[in-house]
Amino acid sequence: MDNLLKELIDSIGPVDNKLEPVIQQRLDNLTKPKGSLGRLEEFAKRYCLITNQISPADLEKAVIVFAGDHGITQEGVSAFPKDVTYQMVKNFLQGGAGINVLARHVGADVQVVDIGVDHDLEDLPGLIHKKVGFGTKNMAEGPAMTREEAQRAILAGAEVAQDIIEGGKNILATGEMGIGNTTPASALTAVICGKEPSQVTGRGTGIDTSAYRRKIELIERAISVNKPSPTDGLDALAKVGGFEIAGICGMILKAAQMRVPVVVDGFISGAGAIVAKALCPNISDYLFCGHCSVEQGHKVQMEYLGLRPILDLDMRLGEGTGAVLAMGLIEAGIKIYKEMATFDQAAVSPGNEAI
Amino acid sequence: MDNLLKELIDSIGPVDNKLEPVIQQRLDNLTKPKGSLGRLEEFAKRYCLITNQISPADLEKAVIVFAGDHGITQEGVSAFPKDVTYQMVKNFLQGGAGINVLARHVGADVQVVDIGVDHDLEDLPGLIHKKVGFGTKNMAEGPAMTREEAQRAILAGAEVAQDIIEGGKNILATGEMGIGNTTPASALTAVICGKEPSQVTGRGTGIDTSAYRRKIELIERAISVNKPSPTDGLDALAKVGGFEIAGICGMILKAAQMRVPVVVDGFISGAGAIVAKALCPNISDYLFCGHCSVEQGHKVQMEYLGLRPILDLDMRLGEGTGAVLAMGLIEAGIKIYKEMATFDQAAVSPGNEAI
């Protein structure tokens, strides 16, 4: 493995919980029955512990949307033509996509990264250029990427995250665009989480039953042709992954190293997160699961990561849409922690929890 | 029944769905796979249908917090002393409570109503004065209110909603404060939804097992002493309800009459909503269920209303806290509907849903 990547992984230890009693005491002194704000209190506590502080600053939010293409699309695994990947990149930059609307709603910046789109996008203003290749190869016939390309894509994702965090963001959401990318996401989930492809494959953007069966067969073939390692995340990523999934993995690793929480979006982002976990067992400490995707493999990923989704709104768009909505709720929890009056401040009688 | 109340109820018909095809067509032309934003699309569609328009204005949000006291508290059903009701009213007016923090987060006004607090609050600035009584009577010994008081409290809630809607708000959330009020909420749920008290009674702010058993016995006694009608919502409300629950019921009825959607908070608000449904079978058409409360009777209420909760964050504070967070998600859906680019606008190739 590349030295830079190895150093990054080795630098990520578990989150230290030593501040928990102080944080819990403040939560319990707020004018409400203990624990009655449920997961909002959990979000505040986890945010404080990850960032190792008891007085967090206001949230500065960004979603990073990695875009890449997939050789497997030539087999007909998506309801949309491959060109939609670069067309949607333009839509993101013009502010018209779902992620733009929802990011504006919660006050998050949208950063769009060309990490592997099969189209020349060099002259697009506002786009972050980190292209590792013009789409992956067809994984049904051989590896999607070389091991070296997979590492470069992870490190590219890490660089983007570092720049954005150094620019002042203190919470990140994952996002992606890539026609065909539920297919590598299902393949990675099957390999890393030890499931049959049929258990972790859904209908993506909306395909009919015969296309769905073909998609499962293609994933089975990709696994049988490439023999990806279930324990070597980099091997699995290179053989049956994608550039944007690698970028998400790298973004997660770098943010964890810099103690910045990451809100993971749906099924494709989850694939990036499980690769990160295969490379770095402590990674879940730094992650929030934004929402429960409709894609059936997503639950398997979340069990592997040990994360409980924040939202469940039957969403399956990707782009980071579920993650940014969840960032708004994490922010609500942090505001509860910071802004609510204590029993003393408000002259409210504290309760007796054991009458 | 009072003529004013009868007229209000009779004026509420079912929501007309004739605009649905136009709304659905716009949703399907946005740059995303059809239906991939799940419930966000449902929220937008329902908001448009309730308000009977295809181009809704930006949301102007308010949460109405009705405060009232309960004679049943003298039996020791809460972990908090009764004085906390008026102390929390002051906390609301000073902006330090959970509902204040979360309402600010989503951009909603907080309106606080004294509808039945057992304390003289006449000189508090900012408070809406609609006191019907100084707390209810002890329902374990006789009716909580007279039928006439219950009607006055419903109409008081309706007046508050009308003033706030006429002031420019186009979506409302329900909220409440009342030490002891999970006890009448459980009693109403048992009576109206046809369940045993033990099936719909939880631990409220946090009571131990012996207090919990006593709470169930008191609800059983209140039902046996008062014999509330399972079909006459006004009778049930008067005998085993509360002033703030009546206010919520009235607010819901008036908002529906004025075609303004209401986001129902947790278990106490749900009690107001089931009374409204018992009085007016069409009422669910106008309601969103903000969140799934930890209180076990809440699921029963939502089944009775035919509503699916938006959030599930293990919350049990009340005040409107879950409802205002859900308002933020309904707003997200409306923004998707209004602000996303169409396939034509963004020059993105539409998908083929049956490849």
Helix (H, G, I), strand (E, B) or coil at B179: coil
Given CB atoms, is A194 within the 8 Å cutoff of chain B?
no
The angle, 0 to 180 degrees and rounded to 10, between the axes of the packed helices A182-193 and A233-240 is: 150
**Full strand arrangement of the beta sheet holding A108-116:** A128-129, A108-116, A61-68, A171-177, A262-264, A287-289
How confident is the model at residue B353, as a pLDDT? 59
> What residues form DSSP beta bridges with B311?
B291
The residue type of B77 is V
pLDDT tens sequence across A2-24 = 899 999 999 999 999 999 999 99
Closest CA to A288 of A265, A317, A267, A268: A265
How confident is the model at residue B229, as a pLDDT? 97
d(CA A113, CA A194) in angstroms, rounded, equals 31
Spot the catalytic one: A41, A176, A295, A319: A319
- Dihedral in degrees, nearest 10, Cα atoms A315, A321, A323, A329: -90
Q: Which domains does chain A have, with CATH numbers?
A: 3-56+338-346 (1.10.1610.10), 61-328 (3.40.50.10210)
How confident is the model at residue B2, as a pLDDT? 81
How confident is the model at residue B351, as a pLDDT? 79
- Average pLDDT for chain B: 96
pLDDT tens sequence across B167-204 = 999 999 999 999 999 999 999 999 999 999 999 999 87
pLDDT band at B208 (very low <50, low <70, confident <90, very high): confident
Tokens coding A159: 């660089």
Tokens coding B323: 């409802």
How confident is the model at residue A208, as a pLDDT? 87
pLDDT tens sequence across A35-59 = 999 999 999 999 999 999 999 999 9
How confident is the model at residue B354, as a pLDDT? 45
d(CA B133, CA B119) in angstroms, rounded, equals 10
> How many beta-carbon contacts under 8 Å exist across A and B?
205
Nearest CB neighbour to B79, from listed A101, A314, A351: A351
How confident is the model at residue B199, as a pLDDT? 96
d(CA A316, CA A319) in angstroms, rounded, equals 9
How confident is the model at residue A355, as a pLDDT? 42
- CB of A53 closer than 8 Å to CB of B312: no
d(CA A269, CA B142) in angstroms, rounded, equals 58
Closest CA to B279 of B305, B255, B253: B253
d(CA B181, CA B205) in angstroms, rounded, equals 10
- CB of A193 closer than 8 Å to CB of A305: no
Helix (H, G, I), strand (E, B) or coil at A9: helix
Q: pTM, whole model, 2 decimals?
A: 0.97
Residue B65 host element (H or E): strand B61-68
B-chain CB neighbours of A90 within 8 Å are 346-347
A34–chain B nearest CA distance, Å? 8
* Chain-chain contact of B331 with A105 (C-beta, under 8 angstroms): yes
> What residues form DSSP beta bridges with B339?
none
Given CB atoms, is B140 within the 8 Å cutoff of chain A?
no
- Site from A205, A288, A344 to mutate, B interface, most B CB atoms within 10 angstroms: A205
Contacts of A318 (CB under 8 A, 6+ apart): A175, A176, A177, A181, A265, A266, A267, A268, A269
Within 10 A of B134 (CB to CB), how many other CB atoms are there?
A: 14
- CB of B186 closer than 8 Å to CB of B300: no
ipTM tops 0.90: yes
Angle at B213 between CA B231 and CA B70, to 5 degrees: 60
SS3 breakdown of chain A: % helix, strand, coil, rounded to 5?
50, 10, 40
How confident is the model at residue B203, as a pLDDT? 82
The residue type of A255 is A
**Mean pLDDT in residue range A294-305:** 96
* Catalytic annotation present for B122: no
pLDDT tens sequence across B76-135 = 888 899 999 999 999 999 999 999 999 999 999 999 999 999 999 999 999 999 999 999
pLDDT tens sequence across A181-221 = 999 999 999 999 999 999 999 987 778 889 899 999 999 99
Given CB atoms, is B83 within the 8 Å cutoff of chain A?
yes
pLDDT band at B355 (very low <50, low <70, confident <90, very high): very low
* Chain-chain contact of A91 with B208 (C-beta, under 8 angstroms): no
